[in-house]
Amino acid sequence: MVSRLELAKVIAERTMHISDSTKLSQAVAGYLLEEGRVDELDSLMRDVLNYRAKHGHVEATVVSAHPISEAVKKDVLAAIKSEYPDARDFVINEKVDPSVVGGLRIELANEELDLTVQAKLNTFKRLTAARAN
């Protein structure tokens, strides 16, 4: 059996031309279904996206309560470009999630930047609880 990391490398190399993460996920899911390894989809996709990012194709998903403006997209793209200065291709996907309430969350292959109101409130609660003790 091929290891997950070896499989991720092969999939990533063969799918560099696919910029739509939904199509990529469907292709990977189809393969895993045939191989009886469906439970590995999330971790394999993370490995594939991480490999692609290391080889110049960075994909991010921006999650917010409402569609984001062009100005916000430009800011997100600038931040991602500064994090991955050697990358050639950048794809920013949007995901609307009303539970976010305010702010946004940027999800990359191996990291997440949570700028949501909920995350800020959680940080505030943690800090005030630590001071109280």
- Residues 84, 100: contact at Cβ < 8 Å? no
How confident is the model at residue 92, as a pLDDT? 92
How confident is the model at residue 18, as a pLDDT? 77
- Predicted TM-score (pTM) of the model is 0.78
Q: In 3D, which of 113, 95, 13, 26 has the Cα closest to residue 57?
A: 13
- Residues 60, 99: contact at Cβ < 8 Å? no
Task: State how far the Cα of 55 lies from the Cα of 49, in Å rounded to an integer.
Answer: 10
The stretches in the chain having pLDDT less than 50 are none
